[in-house]
Structure 1
Amino acid sequence: MDAKRPSSWLLTPHRGRKRRERLILFSVTIVSLLVYWRFYRKASLDLLQLLLPILSGKYLRDSSFFYTSSPHFAGQGLKQAQWTLKKWKEFGIPDSHIASYDAQLPAPTEQQRLALLRGSEVLYEAPLKDNDHGFLPAFYSFVSNANITASYVFANFGADEDYDDLVENNIRVAQNWGLVGVLLYPDPQNDYPITELNGYSPYPKGPARPAKMIERGDIGPFVSYADAIPILTALNGYGPSASELGTRWQGGELAIHGVRYNVGPSPETYLHIVTDAYIQSGQVHNVIGKIPRVLENDGQSVLDVWNATGTGIIGTPGGGDVIRFQGLLCASTIDFGFSQGLGDNVFPYHSGFDSFEWIIQYGDPGWEYHLTTTKLWLVMAAHLSELPILDMKTTDYADAIER
């Protein structure tokens, strides 16, 4: 669409949600041990004594290294699928195959842009890349293409109370008053206490958040806090500052970079935003395996590894994250992992820094969390596969939801 002016953009920090530590595919390990148990079990053997000693942190490390050795955006995971299929067959699951699905996949062009302008002068041009290891530039999947030039304001976390504070100070930002977009950035205050202000260096020199980190995910558009600094600094001295708007507005840790957290609006500077992506036909590749029955009353275990969950969870019909199974199929689901605790190293979730190198340096150097997670999944999966009748009641689920 044509450039618009002078409507408003909101700039707001992304509130740091406590995310579960994302741990890289353990399917190959769990599958091999489940097959081993299914074919060689004896009633006198203790399940834990049989399975758990086989696990190896080195094996998990080697598998993770392969899966992260090259970027594989949606539609680019065939090599990883073929490797997984080969491993599964080596483990004794001949009834395994790659299921490829036709899909409409988003991809960015070279026209994406975020720039800070004063008239025709470019004050700052965001690179839209955080760690150049073959990653695509940051873009917002399935968003409408647009070319917009607009003034902007700082809106704290974008909560209802924040908008109320802005209105009370005669700063109008609601949609009815000309709002055309939102930018989100991760303020280091959400990473307390692992921040530069507390003496920690950003990754890779230290455990703090990388300044150029851009989170890819379901909500956008995100920019790095390195991109936010010049945009926020341009508001210095214009409009109320965070210190005048109450405690909820305070605590931002970009002050060490010259940001005063004035709300604006921007007087002479504008943001130029270009979103330009296209939809192309492609395929996503899932690996599906079935562990056959050994005894007549055995159930059949079906395993599925899917591709393209990061772009609208389109990897498989009805598949994807746990919500897909729970919401669309009403299937019983379990989703668990380790949460980031206070004082833990900052997890560069879904970014170019979310890498094998970060894991071995800061995330899980001894692979203890990976190994523990695998043990928990393995014991649970093996136990459930052994029970002729699962001790589950639909009323238990309803009671849990009600609580």
Structure 2
Amino acid sequence: MDERQPLLPISSSHSNIVNNSNENNGNYKAKRFWAAIIVGIVCICIVNLIFLPRTSLGRDLRRIHGAKLPVSEVKRIFLNSLDTENHAREWLKQYTYEPHLAGDGYDLVEFTEQKFKEFGLKTEIETFYIWLNRPVDAHLKLLDKDSNVIYNPNLQEDKLPEDETSMLNNSVPIFHGYSANGNVTGKFTFANYGSKSDFEILEKSGVNVHGTICIMRYEKIFRGLKVKHAQQNGCIGAILYSDPYDDGEITVKNGYESYPNGPARNPSSVQRGSVEYFTDYPGDPTTIGHGSTKNCKRNSPKDYIPNIPSIPVSYRTIEPILAELNGIGPDLNWIGNLENFTYTPGPSKLELNLFNLQEYNITPIYNVMGKIDGILPEEQIIIGNHRDSWTFGAGDPNSGSATLLEVARAYGDLIKQGFKPLRTIVFASWDGEEYSMLGSTEFGETHSKFLQKKTLAYLNLDVSVTGTHFSAQANPLLEKSIHDVASKVPFEGATLFDYWHKQDNATIDFPGSGTDFAVFQNHLGIPIVNMGFDANGKTDPVYHYHSNYDSFKWMDTFADPDYKRHNCMAKFLGLLGLSLSEREVCFVSPEDYSTRIKEYYESFYKEIPTRWFNYYIDSAYLKYNRRNIIKQLQKLDEDTSPKFNSLLILFEINMNKLIETSKNYDSYIKDLQTQVEQDYPWFKFFNKLVLLIRIKLANLKLSHLDRMFLDNEALENRTWMKHTIFAPHRDLGYTGDVLPGLHEAIMRNDFNDAVKWLDILISKFQSVIKKLS
């Protein structure tokens, strides 16, 4: 018997085979289905990747960081915001309803902070503690031969019923910031504009001003230098006044009525102002080089402020006194518009008594800062204007304050629509500028390392509108940006650039001093722009600078009644800020910088004494790279003891090489920007990464380029002025000087100092050439 298990029934076996086959077939179909899905998805992805939209690096940067607006749309929305609304008059009225000296007007601090917040800015108030003065009392008395008072004028400006702010009882008395206390009596002299050359003319003409009270008129140079020159020449006191001659065509003598009935100067108007020596050092004179914090170390200010008393007066006040000089002293061909004065220098036969009493205290001042965070937090643009005024300040500075708020308002409209700037934008409302750029200087000194690391440029407004003449001062690195933006601002039926070019060929002046850009350009090496519409001296109403009549009424009636120029300034300033912020490669031009240096050098080359050219050089004055410089000089001179002429040739060789290198680098960064705007397919992401690195390196060079010209050697007796290319002119103040160390050495006839500065400049040129190469 077979004991093997019986075979399964045929029907049962067949059923299992069929079931297994069906199961396998189902699995196979499922696998095919999912495989087809995956293949389809892969194909779709490949097709999508192949045909993905091409994008530029610029758009990628903004998209990744959540910025919703392309640059072209940002600028369109900004201009539209200022086209459809103009609140400048509203802001100006708020800023000018009462006087607000440095540290006063905290309601305006709060108003500015509130508006910054309303416009979407992150806001902060920073306080500094400044040593400054407030007027207590002053008088001016003309005495006869027996010391009896024969003239004791009221030194205050007239109250004008037509100008309501001039009627206020809290008007600021006439005085000079940082003036010395004193009660002096003596004969008096007239020294024209109080320049160095005016005092030299007096000395050569045999007029002895020593021991006299010196009367000088405003204009030509900074008022602090006038008092300084008087003090250096032995004067015991100084009086400054505004002569209508310097108002140009718009004078009473030419048939115009005076303010408030017409555009000419009101006879009682007085120019207040600071007499601190800001050409040597701006800021708190007790804290040179460091911020004026609450418990900071303070030093004596004696070297930075006058030690003789000074006061400002009106031309109506001073004319009877000056008339006492008629016919006394030589005729020096000095002319003016005072009818009863012959402009002879004296000294007088009668005496003057000048009394000035000021109270000095540590006073808090307040900077209001507003910030829009950028995609690149390591780079920032600062836009600033000061808020404090000597009186009501409709022109100086609050036409600028109103303009600044308009820019912030329009930027706020951009923020509401998803704007995020590429670089951080900071708004600054400074305090204490009028006394000597206090708020900005203390801010710059306190945050110097941070600012030098991150700040690409500082854009300054002081007087935004007081007339129809447009002017700009700037570091040449920014000239191309300025002209480019001006050509995009609509104005007077064309563009601001067209208007400006027709006026004076769109000339940009060098930066000097006298406003808040000083610490940025002259001390920190941060490129600056300063701009505004001022009076043209021909058809514009006279601007009552630092007077009670720099009022809302004057602005509303004479200077800019439709506020069109305020609007134009807001467009220009805001677009310039956006252009510098939003262009991926820094919008600066090393070629313009180096070319302008050469132009200015050539303008004072003829001042170099010809006898110097054959002088031998003392190598002790070659401090930077003595061995290398001497070796190069010996090749040029074929002499073991090189002459000054060879050093000058070496300087010019390096200057020309700097121009050529800068020109090449300008072409390079222009090409970089073109690549930034070029669209690439996704699979060329590596190209974008390389481009991003190249841009970062280029921007580091460009943003620190101006800093490379700083030097701790500094100018003679002006150690705070660190820049070797730009400084305020030593003898003029407001005006800028280029290559100041070299130029000053030539003016002083100091051969060895000229050698030293040529050595410094050659070294700087070579460092920059190496950097840009």
**What TM-score does the superposition give when structure 2 sets the normalisation length?**
0.43
Moved more, 192-201 or 384-393: 384-393
> 1:79 aligned to 2:135?
no
> Equivalent of 1:148, from 176, 184, 190?
184
User: Are the structure 2 counterparts of residues 105 and 170 from structure 1 closer, same or farther at C-alpha, using a change threshold of 3 Å?
Assistant: closer
Unaligned runs of 5+ in 1: 1-37
Offset of 1:394 from its aligned partner?
5.2
> Which residue in 2 is equivalent to 1:332?
527
Q: How does 1:83-98 map to 2 (within 5 A)?
A: 83-93=111-121, 95-98=122-125
Moved more, 354-363 or 114-123: 114-123
> Equivalent of 1:314, from 438, 442, 445?
438
SS of 1:327's equivalent?
helix
> Equivalent of 2:267, from 192, 211, 227?
211
- Identity within the alignment, %: 32
Offset of 1:41 from its aligned partner?
4.9
Offset of 1:86 from its aligned partner?
0.8
User: Are the structure 2 counterparts of residues 107 and 57 from structure 1 closer, same or farther at C-alpha, using a change threshold of 3 Å?
Assistant: farther
Q: How does 1:235-314 map to 2 (within 5 A)?
A: 235-240=325-330, 244-246=331-333, 249-250=334-335, 252-255=336-339, 258-267=340-349, 269-293=350-374, 298-314=422-438
> Which residue in 1 is equivalent to 2:208?
172
Q: Is the 8 A contact 2:102 2:432 kept in 1?
A: yes
**Greater RCO, CA 8 A, separation 6+:** 1
> Equivalent of 1:67, from 95, 104, 108?
95
User: Are the structure 2 counterparts of residues 121 and 186 from structure 1 closer, same or farther at C-alpha, using a change threshold of 3 Å?
Assistant: same
Q: Is the 8 A contact 1:173 1:179 kept in 2?
A: yes
User: Are the structure 2 counterparts of residues 178 and 81 from structure 1 closer, same or farther at C-alpha, using a change threshold of 3 Å?
Assistant: closer
Moved more, 146-155 or 380-389: 380-389
Q: Distance in 1 between matches of 2:183 and 2:585?
A: 58
> Which residue in 2 is equivalent to 1:115?
141
Offset of 1:237 from its aligned partner?
4.0
Q: Which amino acid aligns with 1:90?
A: E
User: Are the structure 2 counterparts of residues 44 and 184 from structure 1 closer, same or farther at C-alpha, using a change threshold of 3 Å?
Assistant: closer
Between Structure 1 and Structure 2, whose CA radius of gyration is higher? Answer: 2
User: Are the structure 2 counterparts of residues 196 and 400 from structure 1 closer, same or farther at C-alpha, using a change threshold of 3 Å?
Assistant: same
SS of 1:264's equivalent?
coil
User: Are the structure 2 counterparts of residues 392 and 282 from structure 1 closer, same or farther at C-alpha, using a change threshold of 3 Å?
Assistant: same
Offset of 1:162 from its aligned partner?
3.9
SS of 1:234's equivalent?
helix
> 1:104 aligned to 2:134?
no
Number of aligned residue pairs: give it. 355
Q: Which amino acid aligns with 2:124?
A: H
Q: Which amino acid aligns with 2:141?
A: A
Q: Distance in 2 between matches of 1:383 and 1:41?
A: 17
User: Are the structure 2 counterparts of residues 104 and 39 from structure 1 closer, same or farther at C-alpha, using a change threshold of 3 Å?
Assistant: farther
User: Are the structure 2 counterparts of residues 116 and 41 from structure 1 closer, same or farther at C-alpha, using a change threshold of 3 Å?
Assistant: farther
Q: Distance in 2 between matches of 1:39 and 1:63?
A: 33
Moved more, 316-325 or 282-291: 316-325
SS of 1:84's equivalent?
helix
> Which residue in 2 is equivalent to 1:188?
244
Q: Distance in 1 between matches of 2:559 and 2:232?
A: 45
Offset of 1:293 from its aligned partner?
3.3
Q: Which amino acid aligns with 1:271?
A: L
Cα deviations by residue, 1:80-109 (Å, 9 ceiling, x for unpaired): 11011111111112x212112222231111
Offset of 1:124 from its aligned partner?
2.4
Q: Distance in 2 between matches of 1:57 and 1:195?
A: 36
> Which residue in 1 is equivalent to 2:152?
125
Offset of 1:47 from its aligned partner?
3.9
Q: Is the 8 A contact 2:75 2:578 kept in 1?
A: no
Q: Distance in 2 between matches of 1:398 and 1:121?
A: 63
Q: Is the 8 A contact 2:579 2:587 kept in 1?
A: no
Q: Which amino acid aligns with 1:306?
A: W
Q: Which amino acid aligns with 1:205?
A: N
Cα deviations by residue, 1:133-156 (Å, 9 ceiling, x for unpaired): 322212222232111001012222
> Which residue in 1 is equivalent to 2:711?
none
User: Are the structure 2 counterparts of residues 159 and 293 from structure 1 closer, same or farther at C-alpha, using a change threshold of 3 Å?
Assistant: closer
Q: Is the 8 A contact 1:82 1:98 kept in 2?
A: no
Q: Is the 8 A contact 2:208 2:347 kept in 1?
A: no
> Which residue in 1 is equivalent to 2:324?
234
Q: Distance in 1 between matches of 2:136 and 2:76?
A: 54
Offset of 1:330 from its aligned partner?
1.2
Q: Is the 8 A contact 1:98 1:285 kept in 2?
A: yes
**What TM-score does the superposition give when structure 1 sets the normalisation length?**
0.80
Offset of 1:371 from its aligned partner?
0.9
Unaligned runs of 5+ in 2: 1-64, 159-165, 211-230, 276-309, 378-420, 445-514, 601-773
Q: Which has a greater percent of helix? A: 2
Q: Is the 8 A contact 2:367 2:430 kept in 1?
A: yes
Offset of 1:294 from its aligned partner?
5.8
Q: Is the 8 A contact 2:155 2:174 kept in 1?
A: yes
SS of 1:51's equivalent?
helix
Cα deviations by residue, 1:239-294 (Å, 9 ceiling, x for unpaired): 34xxx433xx13x1111xx2233332211x21111121121122111111211236
> Which residue in 2 is equivalent to 1:15?
none
Q: Is the 8 A contact 1:150 1:270 kept in 2?
A: yes
Cα deviations by residue, 1:182-227 (Å, 9 ceiling, x for unpaired): 3222111111211111101111111111111111223464321112
The CA RMSD over aligned residues, in Å, is 2.7
